[in-house]
Amino acid sequence: MPPPVLHAFPDSLVFTRRLGRALGWPVERIELHHFPDGESLVRVRAAAGGRAIVVRSLVEPNEKIFELLLAADALRRAGVTSLSLVTPYLAYMRQDRVFQPGEPISQRVLGALLGASFERVLCLEAHLHRTRSLTEVFPCRAESISAAFALAPWLERSGPLLLVGPDEESEPFVRGIAERVGFDWCVGLKKRQGDTEVRVALPHAQRGRRALLVDDIVSSGATLAAAAEALRAQGVERIEAAVVHAVFAEGALGRLRAAGIAQVVSTDTVPHVTNRIEAAPCLAQALAEEA
């Protein structure tokens, strides 16, 4: 049986080619046109009877989500027999409950939409807090691969560090990495009062140590900046940060630098100047096991 074809949007072509090289699978480009009124049109190249995997991270997600639905429709009309989605960064996972009256559960809305068009969804380190598994989000097969597999080799090369998660939500992630590399770890308590108003309290005095903040997402940078300030107040000499999804809203990198974070590295699920760690091998392994 011929291998599945990876279908890339223009913004996901670099990552998809890395995935294609890791798997030895072909890559096709999805042509994308934006009409003057803002509507999108996609064109795919697919053979009838083939298996297709669409690859796209969902940073700045709203338009991209609709374009994924268009691509899925186009691929089915072209006659593909199985259709999966690899979304290295999966958006809308943080709104997993109604925090204030009148809000939606965005996570469920996204799951219903994409799950109706794809038979399988695969991502890296989805933000799953109150939801235990992606199978609760999507009505189709869905899996989040732990980014600990991607981060651990980089951490081992960086030498012994204290791993610090900024909030309770980060605990499973930080513990998973720490167990893999054998480093000490702790997590803080976070209070968010607004998009960029965050306070983090850390448990122990860490005077003189070298600390690495680890988190799944940097968006405004307020969380990691607040955690860095708490570490500095405790006398930590060098603070670095490693994140999975470099979402980085405008001004976020400057906020981290101003907070005294000497180095920031990220995986390449979202293209960014801080990308140092390839995520494709983790996703390739999961895809290869089932091909």
Residues of this chain that bind ligand R5P (CB under 6 A): 94, 127, 166-167, 169-170, 198, 215-223
Q: What's the closest the beta carbon of residue 138 comes to ligand R5P, in angstroms?
A: 20
Of the pair 86, 243, the CB lying nearest ligand R5P is at 243
Least separation in angstroms between residue 190's CB and ligand R5P is 7
CB of 218 to ligand R5P, least distance (A): 5
By beta-carbon proximity to ligand R5P, the closer residue of 87 and 219 is 219
Question: Cβ closer to ligand R5P: 129 or 238?
Answer: 129
Whether 190 sits among the annotated catalytic residues: the reply is yes
Residue 117 or 269: which CB sits closer to ligand R5P? Answer: 269
The active-site residue, picked from 51, 120, 127, 190, is 190
C-alpha–C-alpha distance, residues 215 and 133, integer Å = 18
Is residue 254 a contact partner of residue 274, using CB atoms and an 8 Å limit?
no
- Whole-number minimum distance, CB 119 to ligand R5P, in Å? 29
Nearest of 228, 206, 217, 225 to residue 161 by alpha carbon? 206
Cβ closest to ligand R5P, residue 94 vs residue 141 = 94
Least distance between ligand R5P and beta carbon 56 (Å): 20
Task: Give catalytic residues, as residue numbers.
Answer: 190
